[in-house]
Structure 1
């Protein structure tokens, strides 16, 4: 028997976002209390860790000292690396510490929403209107994938927004062979025995990827350590990462029943269509293809920035068109009609460590998703609803702002706790108290993670897997 465990932390960085997770597979019995350790050892002193993957969701803060403390803790937990970095959106309080993260615990793979030309316009115009259109922002608009690679990433995965009819992955049957073609060949010198990996499954996007993007076989597991080429990749809605394992090199890969599933809400509407036509006319373009749009936009910025700002504001309220990516971290199968869960969570301390109980184990983070709007909330809820019994923790959209919250956001069967990342007494978030009142009225608990170390929140779960 061996153990898979997942630990997630909401760091106390004040108003901002810095969420981290660790996925581990070990040759250990489930009951050991050392599941949260960086590197467990057996009785002979040998490491029992087969796989250890670290991910981060957003990295920004308006409280420098609290972020420094949290980054130090993260560096110690990871040993100086981040395997996956998920970015919900590009607002400063969610990304202004990216350079710090990439300098101390660099991420090989970055995952974020795919921005159409009009969305890049929104990003640039917002900065221009605020008087802070830096060279870095201009570089990003010119080449988003290249910007991330210049900041240390190797693979940049842009996730296409949903269209309101998308379905999440079914998850299959955990712990059964899933590789009908047989296992991958093992190179000479590879360690025999239990093996585990994290794979990426890319759904085919609705639009054709830009010609400078790399491609991978769609709907086919790709080992994130060995089978992803450097460059930018366009991934369709429902693309996800999943845990897999096999008992030895002769076995076929099996589902480990854990996924990381990003989702970008639908964004198409009449305003966007009208703006797309207007800016195409203004820039003298027949289309808004990414190759020519950025240079034309930046040239217009240099010659007539006032016209550019006016054009945008004629179609949008600044910030109204913002896009944000949610992230589900949890079991890869829905519970359906089952009443229990294979995953166990701490139920209290005992003289020998943790006692564990079956429980929903998923955490759903929302960034600044504008879920008050039914046109975005309903597709979002429909997409994640198959995991309704697994979702235990929800990060409130936009730090708990009532402008982006609706009581239907809480309608998941397993949901017990809503988390807001802000400093409550500074009134930084509009309508926070109203949102928290609605959370309580729905029979859920809430927690504010602010800039104090004692408010940092972590959540652990684990399950046993038995080779057969």
Structure 2
């Protein structure tokens, strides 16, 4: 027997998705996709209430990217819950600078974002995570990150496997207790299969991020170094070291932020390109019965077989080449996707009807403010029609999906 429950929580413009899987003879498995919102004080209050009522460990925390409205609750979450594994996109130096410049331009460059950019592995490990897994964008010109393959691990009665196997990254100089004999920092390819299972039951996670391409940003690092007076000093894993600190220091003043905004416009890029998508779908070995249903304020849908929930963060899936690459990753699952979280709150700049057609059987969600006018975009909303559900800060707008097999 297996029960799975997914929920897109009503937190307004941001992202907080949770999932939990139960079986009759083993501990539950719980996961979270993104943890933040623009209205940070209100989100923290919501998150603390959720933590008070959900004391089970978080086996996997997936962070799509480091925009403030997707990560503002991380400190609260990790102070109030046991978070075992964290998965984040692997960002090269160009992409991290783009991230910092974009947040500086919004006036949203805070200490948390700088810590994440400086060294994401240390950020999470120092807050109690056992392992940090980076997802790199597979494709031409990718960095040679090397390292030995690592075997599957076991935890709390569940067997975790990743195919292809992960590779080690350079670990921090210190290690939390209990990780001396295993890798604390790993990297996997986009389009990998991560499964957590016991016997014939479990959950499959499939991450995707766009290929890393540096061509359009070749001059950005030199320009930023010249502006802030620091150079890139990498540590063998994602993070900018001295340069990230120098960018943050330069962004403290209005004039400094104006300088950085000018560079961002000059070199034109988007941090959203690195955003993770993650599919979650149950694994069932010849069930006697299987049933799913999706419920939200305006509708109810139900059926059999194993359903998928596909989160997209702020992924850029508008250009046909980008969408085709994303489709290649998820092709065999798209017909079974029953909930698709539209990228970037349903922005017209990130997707259109072509994405919606790929998930023809799915309810479409957009995480937006109740009174927001910008998101979802007019074209996205028109294409989605009555399949679109706006998830806002109003409690009744949450979307849930349930699955049972036995």
The normalised TM-score by structure 1 is: 0.69
Counterpart contact for 2:4–2:22, Cα < 8 Å: yes
Which sections of structure 1, spanning at least 5 residues, go unmatched? 27-48, 165-182, 186-194, 215-224, 247-254, 334-339, 349-354
Q: CA deviation at 1:19?
A: 0.4
Which sections of structure 2, spanning at least 5 residues, go unmatched? 141-151, 296-300
User: 2:149 maps to what in 1?
Assistant: none
After superposition, the CA RMSD in angstroms is: 3.9
* 1:368-387 deviation digits (Å, cap 9, x = unpaired): 11111223221011211111
Q: Distance in 2 between matches of 1:13 and 1:299?
A: 33
The structure with the larger Rg is 1
User: 1:454 maps to what in 2?
Assistant: 396
* 1:18-75 deviation digits (Å, cap 9, x = unpaired): 100001111xxxxxxxxxxxxxxxxxxxxxx413011110111234446534542454
Counterpart contact for 1:61–1:93, Cα < 8 Å: yes
Counterpart contact for 1:198–1:241, Cα < 8 Å: no
**Richer in helix (by share):** 2
Q: Distance in 2 between matches of 1:11 and 1:368?
A: 17
SS of the aligned residue for 1:268 comes to: coil
* 1:355-413 deviation digits (Å, cap 9, x = unpaired): 98414510101111111122322101121111122111100111111121221111336
SS of the aligned residue for 2:351 comes to: coil
Give the total of aligned pairs.
Answer: 377
SS of the aligned residue for 1:363 comes to: strand
Counterpart contact for 1:122–1:321, Cα < 8 Å: no
Deviates more, 1:367-376 or 1:276-285: 276-285
User: 1:407 maps to what in 2?
Assistant: 353
Q: Distance in 1 between matches of 2:135 and 2:312?
A: 15
Q: Distance in 1 between matches of 2:363 and 2:305?
A: 13
Counterpart contact for 1:361–1:392, Cα < 8 Å: yes
User: 1:89 maps to what in 2?
Assistant: 65
1:389 aligns with 2:387: no
SS of the aligned residue for 1:425 comes to: coil
SS of the aligned residue for 2:192 comes to: strand
SS of the aligned residue for 1:94 comes to: helix
User: 2:148 maps to what in 1?
Assistant: none
Distance 1:419 1:312, change over 3 A: closer
Q: Distance in 2 between matches of 1:296 and 1:62?
A: 26
User: 2:101 maps to what in 1?
Assistant: 125
Q: Which of 23, 27, 35 is the aligned partner of 2:21? A: 23
Q: CA deviation at 1:156?
A: 0.9
1:374 aligns with 2:315: no
User: 1:295 maps to what in 2?
Assistant: 242
Distance 1:389 1:139, change over 3 A: closer
Q: CA deviation at 1:429?
A: 1.7
* 1:397-446 deviation digits (Å, cap 9, x = unpaired): 11111121221111336523101111243214262x43122012xxx622
1:203 aligns with 2:180: no
* 1:234-259 deviation digits (Å, cap 9, x = unpaired): 1122334313223xxxxxxxx43630
